[in-house]
Amino acid sequence: MSNHHAAAFISLLAPLASFLTVCVLPSRYRKPISLVSLLWMALAFVSAIILFYGSWNESNLIKLNWFVVGNSPFTADLSISKHSLLMLVVVSFISLLVHVYSVSYMSGDDG
C-alpha cells in the first residue's frame, strides 16, 4: 500500500474514529474526549492535504478485495480524481472548523 492509499484511508476513516471515540468513552471524560475527537478530525484534514498535494496530477484507482465466494472475487474501487480531492479537502476543513466551534461553544455546558 502506497502513502497515497494510506492517506486516502486515513482521511476517510478518521471521522468515523472520532465518532466512535465520542460514542464509546464515558461522558465523565468530556474534555479529553473532545480533544481526542478534535485530533481525529485534524488528522483527517492533514491526510486530505497530503493526498491533495501528492495525487493532484494523477488519477488513482484503489482496488480492494472484500471477499471471495468460490472463484468470484468481490471488489470495491475507490476512485480519486481532482474533483474528489478538492472536495475531500474542503469538506474535511469545514468539518474541522465546525468541530472546533462546537467544542468551544459547548465547553461551559454541564451536560
- pLDDT tens, position by position, 22-56: 888 887 787 888 889 899 999 999 999 998 888 77
Tell me, what's the pLDDT at 41?
93
User: Residue 111 and residue 100: Cα distance in Å, rounded?
Assistant: 18
- H/E stretch holding 28: none
pLDDT digits (tens, 9 = 90+) for 7-20: 888 888 999 999 99
pTM: 0.80
- The pLDDT tens digits for 76-97 are 888 888 888 899 999 999 999 9
Distance CA 82, CA 59 (A): 7
Query: Residue 8's pLDDT is what?
Result: 84
